[in-house]
Amino acid sequence: MYTQQFKQSLVVKTAKRLFICLMTLALVGCGSPKLEPLKPGAVILAFGDSLTAGVGAETSHSYPSVLAAMTGFTVINAGISGETTAQGLQRFPDVLNQHAPDLVILIEGGNDILRNRSKEQAKSNLEQMIQLAMGRNIQVVLLGVPEKSLFSSSAPFYAELAEKYNLAFDDETIGSLMRSPSMKSDAVHFNRAGYAEMAEQIYALLRDNGAF
């Protein structure tokens, strides 16, 4: 017969093995590429508000321009300063029709947050944009925008959408840049160095998720 001590030891060892197995599965899942490789000649659509438009720096130094130079792909700058998610949702279908992109980088919601608009509505608007793109077999990459808090990474609904649709997602870059005075041209926009860093982080996000 097994002693009580042996039984307890067996339970602990089994629990440890189960924990290791679960962690391994989780790590493998987290590391799985979320994007299909972009083919030569692919078009990337950078869709969003002033952070996409590049307010605070010359257009040639906006993140879409820098990203185009880094990747060699066509990157369309479809950023509109001051735009809310409701306005973005309204123009999104026409922009998709116009450019027929292979991948969309979606960075919007900052103006909703700054103007204290409903976060649930902002989430719904973003979700509809994601669904519109995915319904056309267009890949989506999402960047989160921080709440009005010094140490915020991004509003929680961005991560919720990324998890629901299994998107390549970055919830740190914009918040980190917002907390870096040397990267900013004013309270809410970046300068040339800030947009260059933004492009580098997006490049890494695309690369690490299998886009190239």
Q: Report d(CA 156, CA 146) in Å as an integer.
A: 9
- Whether 28 and 60 map to the same domain: the answer is no
Q: What is the pLDDT of residue 151?
A: 72
Query: Where residue 62 sits, what CATH number does that domain have?
Result: 3.40.50.1110
pTM of the model: 0.85
Per the structure, the complete domain to which residue 122 belongs is given by 37-208
Number of domains into which the chain is organized: 2
pLDDT digits (tens, 9 = 90+) for 143-156: 999 998 767 779 99
For helices 85-99 and 119-135, the axis angle rounded to 10 degrees is 10
Residues of the chain whose pLDDT is less than 70?
Answer: 1-31, 150
Write phi, then psi, for 19 (nearest 5 degrees).
Answer: -60, -45
- Whether 81 and 127 map to the same domain: the answer is yes
pLDDT digits (tens, 9 = 90+) for 22-56: 443 343 344 689 999 999 999 999 999 999 999 99
Burial state string for 175-204 with b = 16 or more CB within 10 A and e = fewer than 16: bebbeeeebbbeeebbbbbbbbbbbebbbe
- Whether 44 and 28 map to the same domain: the answer is no
Q: Report d(CA 194, CA 61) in Å as an integer.
A: 10
